[in-house]
Structure 1
Amino acid sequence: MNERSLPQLLAYEGSSPKPDDFGQYWERAMQELDAQPLEYELVPADFTSGLADCFHLYFTGVGGARIHCKYVRSKKPAGEQGPGVVMFHGYSCDSGDWLEKVAYAAHGISVLAMDCRGQGGPSRDTLNVTGTTIRGHVIRGIDDPDPDKLYYRNVYLDTVQTARILMAMPEVDPERVGAFGLSQGGGLTVACASLEPRIKAAVPVYPFLSDYKRAWETNITVSAYEELNYYFRFFDPHHLREEEIFNRLGYIDIQNLAERIEARVLWVTGLVDPVCPPSTQFAAYNKITAPKELLVYHEYGHEYLPYLADRSLQMFLNL
C-alpha cells in the first residue's frame, strides 16, 4: 500500500468525484427523513445495571425498515437533563455489549447505539434494488437506475433519525449530544454530524466510507473496500464504467459530506492502517471547516488504540 507522509496527508483533497447534483440528492433525502415520525418503542433489556436503565429501542426508518438500537439511560432525578451520545458500530458487526454504554451512563451520559440495516444486529434491510450485492454493502444499489437506492443513503438517514430520537428523550439535553464510532462507525459518525447540525461533538475513529477511488487505487483486496475490486472483476473488467461507478459512489462518500459538519471534531487515525488507508481518511478530515483536532497514532493501524476510550469519554463529558 503506497501511502503518503503526514504533511502530504494533511494537504490531500481526495481522488473520488463529487456528483454535480450532490446537494439536491441529500436535500431530497432529508425531506424524506423529515416526513418520518420520531416514534419509537422501548423494550426493557434482560441485562440490568444499578447504574443505568437498559432498553432495546425500535423505530421505523425510511423505506419502512425496522431499526434496532440499544438505549442506556442515565439515572437522573425526574425533570433533569444531561448529555447524550449516539454510537455506531463497525462493518458487518452490531451495536456491541451493554457494558461500555453503562460506563457512559454512570457518568451521566445517555447512549443510543444503532444497529445498521441488514448487518450483525436485528435491524432489517428492506431495500429492493436492481443489481448485485456481491461481497458487501458499499456497492448495494450501485447498478439501480435510481441513485436513491444506494444502501448507505438509508443508513446515513438512520443515523440522523437515531440522533433526533435521542435529542427528543426527556432526560437528554438536545443541545448536548455527540456522536462516536470506529471504522464504519467512524464514517457514520461523520455522516450523522454532517446531516444533523445539532450534533455538538463528534469522534470518528479511522473512518470507513471515504474516497472510494483512492481506496481502490491502493489495490486493497482484503479489507473493508475489497468489494470494489470484486465489482470490477465480475461486472466491469475493462473499466468501461469506471467514471460512472465512482461518480455514483460519490453520493455516499463522507468526504463530500464532511464540509457540512458544525460540531467540534476529534478525528482519530492510525498511520499504518491497512483496512481504511490514511489518505482516504484525510480526504474527509481536510474538508472539515468546523473546530477540529487530529489525534494521530503513528505506529498503529485498524486496531485497539490505547487511551482512546478515556479521551473520548472526557470529550463527551464536556458537551
Structure 2
Amino acid sequence: MHVDLSLEELKVYQGKNPKPDDFSSFWKSGLEELDIISTNYELVEEDISTKYAKCYHLYFNGVGGARVHAKLVKPIKEIATGQGIVMFHGYSVDSGDWLDKLAYAQAGITVLALDCRGQGGLSEDTLVTTGGTLRGHIIRGLSDTDPQNLYYRHVFLDAVQAVRILKRIDGVDPNRIGTYGQSQGGALAVASAALEPSVKHVYAVYPFLSDYKRAWEMDVQNSAYEELAYYFRVFDPTHKEEEAVFSRLGYIDIQHLSERIEGSVDWVIGMRDHICPPSTQFAAYNKIKSKKNMTFYYEFGHEHLPNHADDAFKKFLTIL
C-alpha cells in the first residue's frame, strides 16, 4: 500500500511548488549579506570534556544581529583527522546531547551542532516581521511583503555561516566538511551544502521544507506542514492569495536549492512517511546533479530508522 505516488512515479517526480523568478538573485543577495558578517565566534568550555576531546558552547552573530548558539566538540590535536561535520536538528527542538558528537570526536572528527534560532536551543531570534506565527515557523514572515523576512531565509543563512565557521576552526581541513541532519535537520544539511558548495558530503534523513504545495495537497493537517492549513484557515480562508503564498514559500523550498550541491549526497527515506511525504523529498532529490544515493526503508515512516546513524558515521569517516 502506497502512502504517496508509486516508486516509479516518485523517481521522475519534479515537484509542484513554484520557483520565484528572482530565486537566484534572492539567495545571491542573502549570501552577500552574510559575506559582510564576521565569522568570529566566542567559545565557552563545557565541563563534559573528555581526555580525547573538548566540548564548547560556540556563539556567533548571525544575520539580523541574532546571537546564534552551537555546540562544538573538538578532538585533541593528536587524533584530529581534519574532517568536520555540521549537524542540524529536527523541528522545534535543539542540538541535542553531547554524546553522539563525542563519538565522532573520538574518531578525530570535529563537530559543530547548530541550534536553530527561536526554537528549543540557546539561539536568539531577532526577526521583526508582520503577520501571524500560528503553529509554526514555516509561516513566520509569510504575510510580509518582503520575502527577505521569511524565518527560514535567516535559518538557511545561519546554516551556511555554521559551515563557514567550522572551516575556520583550528585543525579542520576546509575541503573535508560534511553536513548531517534529520527532518528539518536534513533540509538544513541540503540547503547549507547548496549555498556553500564546498561541502564535500551531505547525509540527509527524510528532509523537511520541500515542495510545500504538494504537501498541502496531501493530508497536510497530519504532516509536518500542518501550519499551512492553519494559515489558510485563519488568514486566507477563501485562498485569494494562494498563488502568492506558494510563490513566496518557493524561496525557502529546498527542491529549488538542491541542484546547486556539488558534493556527494546520501539520502535516507521512509516510504511510509506521512510527516514529510516521499514525493516532497523526491522533488528535491531528483534535482541533485552531483553523485547521490538513496537508501529506502520501505516499512518505515518518520521515525527512528535502524542502523542509519552507524551508516552515516562510516560514510563520513570514509568520504570526507
Separation in 1 of the partners of 2:8 and 2:208?
Answer: 21
Match of 1:192 in 2: 192
Separation in 2 of the partners of 1:201 and 1:74?
Answer: 20
Match of 2:179 in 1: 179
What do residues 236-264 of structure 1 show as CA deviations (whole Å, max 9, x unaligned)? 11111111000000000000000000010
Match of 2:292 in 1: 292
Question: What displacement does 1:54 show?
Answer: 0.3
Matched to 1:148, the amino acid is Q
Instruction: Say whether 1:30 aligns with 2:31.
Output: yes
Separation in 1 of the partners of 2:28 and 2:49?
Answer: 41
Q: Say which SS state the counterpart of residue 48 (structure 1) adopts.
A: strand
Separation in 2 of the partners of 1:17 and 1:172?
Answer: 38
What do residues 119-164 of structure 1 show as CA deviations (whole Å, max 9, x unaligned)? 0001000000010111100010011121100000010000010000
Separation in 2 of the partners of 1:205 and 1:219?
Answer: 21
Instruction: Say whether 1:16 aligns with 2:17.
Output: yes
Instruction: Say whether 1:70 aligns with 2:71.
Output: yes
Matched to 2:284, the amino acid is A
> Between the two proteins, what is the percent identity of the paired residues?
59
Q: Is the 8 A contact 1:2 1:218 kept in 2?
A: no
Question: What displacement does 1:205 show?
Answer: 0.4
Separation in 2 of the partners of 1:220 and 1:60?
Answer: 35
In the superposition, the TM-score normalised over structure 2's length comes to 0.98
Match of 2:139 in 1: 139
Question: What displacement does 1:81 show?
Answer: 5.2
1:127-166 matched pairs, under 5 angstroms: 127-166=127-166
Separation in 2 of the partners of 1:50 and 1:10?
Answer: 47
Q: Say which SS state the counterpart of residue 55 (structure 1) adopts.
A: strand
Q: Say which SS state the counterpart of residue 59 (structure 1) adopts.
A: strand
- How many residue pairs get aligned? The number is 318
Matched to 2:62, the amino acid is G
Match of 1:252 in 2: 252
Match of 2:45 in 1: 44
Question: What displacement does 1:51 show?
Answer: 2.7
Separation in 2 of the partners of 1:12 and 1:255?
Answer: 11
What do residues 63-107 of structure 1 show as CA deviations (whole Å, max 9, x unaligned)? 0000000000011239x6510000000000100000000000001
Q: Is the 8 A contact 1:81 1:170 kept in 2?
A: no
Q: Is the 8 A contact 2:3 2:272 kept in 1?
A: no
Separation in 2 of the partners of 1:263 and 1:119?
Answer: 29
Instruction: Say whether 1:126 aligns with 2:126.
Output: yes
Separation in 1 of the partners of 2:10 and 2:187?
Answer: 18
Match of 1:54 in 2: 55
Q: Is the 8 A contact 1:255 1:287 kept in 2?
A: yes
Q: What stretches of structure 2 of length at least 5 have no aligned partner?
A: none
Matched to 1:242, the amino acid is E
Instruction: Say whether 1:206 aligns with 2:202.
Output: no
Separation in 2 of the partners of 1:111 and 1:135?
Answer: 31
Separation in 1 of the partners of 2:171 and 2:111?
Answer: 11
Separation in 1 of the partners of 2:212 and 2:152?
Answer: 13
Q: Is the 8 A contact 2:52 2:105 kept in 1?
A: yes
Q: Is the 8 A contact 1:232 1:239 kept in 2?
A: yes
Q: Say which SS state the counterpart of residue 154 (structure 1) adopts.
A: helix
| Deviates further, 217-226 or 133-142 | 217-226
Q: Is the 8 A contact 1:191 1:257 kept in 2?
A: yes
Match of 1:167 in 2: 167
1:95-134 matched pairs, under 5 angstroms: 95-134=95-134
Separation in 1 of the partners of 2:243 and 2:74?
Answer: 47
Matched to 1:211, the amino acid is D
Separation in 2 of the partners of 1:89 and 1:303?
Answer: 14
Over 3 Å counting, the alpha-carbon distance change for 1:277 and 1:193 in structure 2 is: same
Separation in 2 of the partners of 1:36 and 1:301?
Answer: 39
Q: Say which SS state the counterpart of residue 221 (structure 1) adopts.
A: helix
RMSD between aligned residues: 1.1
Q: What stretches of structure 1 of length at least 5 have no aligned partner?
A: none
Separation in 2 of the partners of 1:50 and 1:260?
Answer: 40
Separation in 1 of the partners of 2:164 and 2:48?
Answer: 25
Match of 2:235 in 1: 235
In the superposition, the TM-score normalised over structure 1's length comes to 0.98
